[in-house]
Structure 1
């Protein structure tokens, strides 16, 4: 035991909030996340600061909003030298041993292998976003005799009808690699205290789970995405808002008997976005996605077992979350982009703090990923930097309060390369009303999630709603402006 707990921070990539069995999804199997929920506190209304990887990760690693840290894009040329991420603070102010295993994705990648800033990690073993990274690549070669790791994923893509289907054997999966390396880190640092940032690449697309996990999910048992015929016209109206999609001129209705022929379709034409669920095998896509999540859950179980076996579980804070969600066919969209539907911006968050959090507790407070860095510093006994904007969750974890914030904010600002419009949008959600502004496109949406949890009907043009609309727009402006800090510390009196 040490005075400060070890900290295990597990982040998945592109996992929706509604993909945990213990939180109400009867179609998915997540026994290890269920265990964390039973032993810790679940935050049921947690939102990311950007519906895209790099800006979201920059936010939760700095405790600052995108408007302040200015890391808005995937593929940024460099990391802002004035921005300091959490492990560097821990390294400078404590005796924590700091480790990173998996994805980092804070700055530009070269040939899909990302560059790392000087960020305070004592140990760093990287995989890239997709498909292959440094340490994972070496592991495949030296442990499994894979002569050309870079050929693994193109072969899967070439043989799949689209970007989903059976994937690599479990022995070769990135999840197997990071679980093995995380378990070794835990065993090697029994003296503590340590901080381990474990970043899984999955369930990021392409959706290629091992066959043994895919066999557990029958497509016919999968619920269809949230969709109404009105979504077709709505998404056409928002066609000039960037979303990861390829506009296919001749979209046929899905026919399972013909789908295998899509293996001959050029890769750039395979992705389907903004189309009805019956134009592709929506249930099969969801089966693959759920199978990937169960695979990740299985490997999280191995890491938790390493904690138990090493006798460190009672002195280790465990955090589980994801950087953003996945549309998964809702409203006719897959993947991510400049939209703010619940499937994309609402993420899971479970924190287990032995001896502090009430087992099985659930919080309905509005929470943001930007709150995680200040929470960790609070628990580690470190004074937070003055420019850190998140609010610690400590009082919620200790049961001292049930409220946290009046609203959450999310932003997309030219985040994806190759998009035609380079959109800029912002979202503010106050727990009932969600306002979404698309600042360069003349579009806006307002959803009442109390009356319309599926976000099917925008109130933006509703007659008689004008006064409430003005109030919400003022609130939106105030909330978004508050995410930009005042800049450099003042040291003069004039």
Structure 2
């Protein structure tokens, strides 16, 4: 039974524990938040003890499961996601990762009530990881660029000193977000929620109204 059971251990996000001057997970796209474990046990397809270095993200797990069970891919699903079996089958897998983070309104309001200045965190953020580099844009027009191979902790922003690379990553950013908009599927109506559920989600910071 065990060898015919696919076991997946992962997380939806990490947490800052003082890194970047922040505690919690509501304030950005730092590697401390997005670089989470992914462990899969299924000997039929995954070699025990093997480690992969290719870019992977959580949305890939869904399509990996679909691939393993032989389900048909939903054409209106996440167009940028890929099954991890593509890597095992030595198909083209290397890809650009995409991340985004809305303005954390509830968290900002709470912090301000406590007298904490969080104006620098009052922004939307979008980022990509490609070719070992991470490029980020904010709704305030800020840009960040990191060499993850040398600076995984994101301590040195290279945007001002990497003209050609910064331009290439900026173009890649526009390209990948353009594709994401095209493949995100049709707009879906918001599900109806009772008042108790709405208040619980609001208290946890998942909705703002």
Long gaps (5+) in structure 1: 1-311, 490-494
Provide the C-alpha distance between the structure 2 equivalents of 1:377 and 1:451, rounded to a whole number of angstroms.
35
Question: Equivalent of 2:74, from 375, 385, 391?
Answer: 385
Shift of 1:415: 4.5
Long gaps (5+) in structure 2: 110-118, 188-209
Provide the C-alpha distance between the structure 1 equivalents of 2:107 and 2:172, rounded to a whole number of angstroms.
33
The correspondence of residues 320-399 of structure 1 with structure 2, limited to 5 A, is 320-389=9-78, 390-396=81-87, 399=88
Q: Secondary structure at the match of 2:106?
A: coil
Considering Cα pairs closer than 8 Å and 6+ residues apart, tell me whether 1 or 2 has the greater RCO. Answer: 1
Q: Secondary structure at the match of 1:350?
A: strand
Shift of 1:429: 0.6
**How many residues matched?**
173
Shift of 1:353: 0.7
Shift of 1:455: 1.3
Provide the C-alpha distance between the structure 1 equivalents of 2:149 and 2:3, rounded to a whole number of angstroms.
39
Provide the C-alpha distance between the structure 1 equivalents of 2:37 and 2:158, rounded to a whole number of angstroms.
27
Q: Which position in structure 1 is the counterpart of 2:172? A: 475
Larger Rg: 1
Question: Equivalent of 2:138, from 435, 438, 453?
Answer: 438
The correspondence of residues 21-60 of structure 1 with structure 2, limited to 5 A, is none
Provide the C-alpha distance between the structure 1 equivalents of 2:70 and 2:3, rounded to a whole number of angstroms.
18
Shift of 1:392: 0.8
Provide the C-alpha distance between the structure 1 equivalents of 2:108 and 2:63, rounded to a whole number of angstroms.
34
1:284-330 deviation digits (Å, cap 9, x = unpaired): xxxxxxxxxxxxxxxxxxxxxxxxxxxx2121011110001112222
Provide the C-alpha distance between the structure 2 equivalents of 1:402 and 1:411, rounded to a whole number of angstroms.
27
Shift of 1:401: 2.1
TM-score normalised by the chain length of structure 2? 0.75
The correspondence of residues 32-181 of structure 1 with structure 2, limited to 5 A, is none
Provide the C-alpha distance between the structure 2 equivalents of 1:433 and 1:334, rounded to a whole number of angstroms.
25
Determine whether 1:454 maps to 2:122.
no
Q: Secondary structure at the match of 1:484?
A: helix
Q: Is the 8 A contact 2:133 2:147 kept in 1?
A: yes
Structure 1 residues 475, 381: closer, same or farther in 2, change over 3 A? same
Shift of 1:423: 2.3
Q: Is the 8 A contact 1:428 1:480 kept in 2?
A: no
Q: Is the 8 A contact 1:372 1:392 kept in 2?
A: yes
Q: Which position in structure 2 is the counterpart of 1:62? A: none
Q: Secondary structure at the match of 1:436?
A: strand
1:234-287 deviation digits (Å, cap 9, x = unpaired): xxxxxxxxxxxxxxxxxxxxxxxxxxxxxxxxxxxxxxxxxxxxxxxxxxxxxx
1:391-427 deviation digits (Å, cap 9, x = unpaired): 111133xx32286232101100234524256521101
Q: CA RMSD in A?
A: 2.1
Structure 1 residues 403, 456: closer, same or farther in 2, change over 3 A? farther
Structure 1 residues 411, 461: closer, same or farther in 2, change over 3 A? same
Shift of 1:345: 0.9
Provide the C-alpha distance between the structure 2 equivalents of 1:318 and 1:367, rounded to a whole number of angstroms.
17
Name whichever of 476-485 and 346-355 sits farther off: 476-485
Q: Secondary structure at the match of 1:409?
A: strand
Q: Is the 8 A contact 2:103 2:123 kept in 1?
A: yes
Q: Which position in structure 1 is the counterpart of 2:198? A: none
